[in-house]
Structure 1
Amino acid sequence: MNNMTINGVNSQTFVCSNIRRSEEFYTKALGMKVLKRTVHHNDAHLPVVTFGFEQFPGEPKRTETVTYVEWNPIFYMMPEKGFVDPDATKDGVANPRVGDPKGRWGAGTNHHLALHVPNRNGLLKWKRRLTDMGIHCTGPYNRNYFHAIYLRDPDGAIIEIATSEPGFGHDEAVLGSKFCPQPEENLVGGRSELAVASETWPHDCSTITSDYAMRGFHHITSISSNAERTEKFFVETVGLHLIKKTDYLDEKGGTHYYYACDDDLSPGSVLTFFGLPNYAKGRLGTGLTHHFTLEVENDAALADQRDRLIKSGVEVSGIQNAVYSQQFHFLDPDGHICAVSTPSDFTIDEDADSLGQSLCLSEEHEADRTEIERAAALRPAPTPRLPD
């Protein structure tokens, strides 16, 4: 593909077992705000909450969002193919298979979402705040192109908080033109884990101040079992820029490739893949990402991107009305669910200054509001149909 139409990253969608607990984590611990409370466009039995970032004067508008879909049974696996196809979603919710609902990251799944703070002092303030709240963090680690700490959401999904400094350009003149080995002191076995663990901010950080509040996404990282195959797919077929080829810092022999959606390499527009050859396949479920979504500017660009993927032999879904955007899904070479959408508009059913204050339902579901609200409050498990 010669003409890149992907403008950036739109969102990352996780699966959780208790959406109210996830909401408390994002709003009270991470200081983000609820933008929308609704249900999944493919099945109203699935509650959905979307979180957004504060906007600060003089800074770029942050449109990326974090979405959580609730799958609450303790004894049923999530549908194997996720919540992508409308008919398959309804069937999977109505007829779940008995088993462990927890996800397991591996080849063909996401590994973590990295949120963005401007500098290392902000990173240390987050470490102090979160550890004081009883939330376990590791880091800060020097990742050569940024510094980062790591934590888990209430279901175990890995969340990274990363700085924008020092950036991707300090070790090569043309980004992505060569393999850039990591300094030995950054690699597992070469760094001092004790020194890393001991560093934190010396003062109380119980109040989130503007200097270290979240600034949106930094990047999204997934797992590839074949780095070269993934590179060919995301560069030649999807249309991203390869901007960095380097070592995976936490596993000897692994690689870490970075891709950008835009030319300015801004945090929030970057996808990365750990290259772990022949790594075991992951499994969708709670405590894991369901999919990430790339963004195009309008309906015409969405249709164009879908047509181009089809011409390249990629199996894609139909374009779906997801209420707040139009979107379609596709799979990467390892089977990871990806999506492309138009920009999200959460003001179509709520005023901009009162987003997230009520349960918003489409006209299709409004007639069932009482039942939906009752089901969300009680959170019943699915009831599979008995075999004929």
Structure 2
Amino acid sequence: MLIQKIHHVAYRCKDAKETVEWYVKHLDMKFVLAIAENEVPSTKQPDPYMHVFLDAGQGNILAFFELPNSPEMGRDTNTPAWVQHLALQVDSMDTLLATKARLEAAGIKVIGPTNHTIFHSIYFFDPNGHRLELACNTGTPKMMQLLDEVKWDMLNEWAATRKAPQHARWMHDGSYQED
């Protein structure tokens, strides 16, 4: 089996209409589809829902479920809020910075930009409490080659020690120099 692409990624939302309007307004996504049922098609369980789909660009679809009969949304309290997030790519640093300014002007708290050397990111939360990251790629082919060369060594060292391997420390310590 070879996966062709991600068809869609789905999250839960508190209010489908508010969520669609937020993503359209703040991230320029297009609202492409709404599906509503009183019964879950796969399980036949009675559970009314609204399932909305947004175009995140280039065939990537972000979807949400509003579940009015389920307990209030929560999150895994054992996982830090910064871990579980959705990262979306933008085309340039200009777009990243302009989006940050637009989000902040709308009263949305934004962290960053954070320099990860191969990309720069900003972080913020949607109205459902989902953490979002906007990332602009800045890596060179040489940087990507260096990371590719050490990925298995890093993973194997992590698996053995559960300590952060230092093979790519240059990504965050500022020591990288392009030849």
RMSD: 3.1
- 1:34–1:52: 8 Å Cα contact kept in structure 2? yes
Match in the other structure for 1:177: 149
* 1:10 match: 7
Give distance in 2, aligned partners of 1:145 and 1:175.
Answer: 10
Amino acid at match of 1:103: R
What is the identity, as a one-letter code, of the residue corresponding to 2:119?
F
User: Structure 1: how far apart are the matches of 2:125 and 2:143?
Assistant: 31
1:46 maps to 2:49 = yes
TM-score by length of 1: 0.35
Deviations 1:210-259 (A, max 9, x none): xxxxxxxxxxxxxxxxx649xxxxxxxxxxxxxxx857x99xxxxxxxxx
Aligned to 1:143: 116
- CA contact 1:118–1:165 (8 Å) conserved in 2: no
Structure 1 moving runs of 4+ over 4 Å: none
Pick the aligned partner of 2:61 from 42, 48, 65: 65
The alpha-carbon deviation at position 172 of structure 1 amounts to: 5.4
Aligned to 2:175: none
Partner of 1:188: none
1:34 aligns with 2:31: yes
Which residue of 2 is the match for residue 115 of structure 1? 88
CA contact (8 A) 1:16 1:72 kept: no
SS in 1 for 2:117: coil
Q: Find the residue that maps to 1:170 and give its secondary structure.
A: helix
Q: Distance in 1 between matches of 2:56 and 2:148?
A: 30
Q: 1: CA distance between counterparts of 2:22 and 2:63?
A: 13
| Greater length-normalized contact order (CA 8 Å, ≥ 6 residues apart) | 1
Q: In 2, distance between residues paired with 1:41 and 1:246?
A: 46
Q: Alpha-carbon deviations, 1:81-101, whole Å to 9, x = none?
A: xxxxxxxxxxxxxxxxxxx53
Structure 1 residue corresponding to 2:18, chosen from 18, 21, 25 = 21
Judge conservation of contact 1:141–1:148 (CA < 8 Å) in 2. Answer: yes
**Does the residue aligned with 1:122 lie in a helix, a strand or coil?**
helix
Please list every run of 5 or more consecutive structure 1 residues that lacks an aligned counterpart in the other structure. 55-61, 78-99, 180-226, 230-244, 251-388
- Give distance in 2, aligned partners of 1:31 and 1:103: 26
Specify the alignment match of 1:164 in structure 2: 137
Work out the percentage of aligned pairs sharing the same amino acid: 24
- Structure with bigger helix share is 2
The answer to whether the 8 Å contact 1:148/1:160 transfers is yes
1:1-388 aligned at under 5 Å gives the runs 5-39=2-36, 41-42=41-42, 45-53=48-56, 62-72=58-68, 77=71, 101-104=73-76, 106=79, 111-166=84-139, 169-171=141-143, 173=145, 175-178=147-150, 228=159
**Alpha-carbon distance in 1 for matches of 2:138, 2:33:** 32
Helix, strand or coil at the partner of 2:10 = strand
Q: Residues 292-323 of structure 1, C-alpha deviation per residue, up to 9 Å, x if partnerless?
A: xxxxxxxxxxxxxxxxxxxxxxxxxxxxxxxx
Matched position secondary structure for 1:166? coil
**TM, length-normalised to structure 2:** 0.71
Does structure 1 conserve the Cα–Cα contact (< 8 Å) formed by 2:113 and 2:120? yes
Q: Alpha-carbon deviation of 1:175?
A: 4.6
Note if contact 1:146-1:165 (Cα within 8 Å) is conserved in structure 2: yes
1:241-291 superposed Cα distances (whole Å, 9 cap, x missing partner): xxxx857x99xxxxxxxxxxxxxxxxxxxxxxxxxxxxxxxxxxxxxxxxx
Contact 1:117/1:161, CA 8 A, preserved across alignment = yes
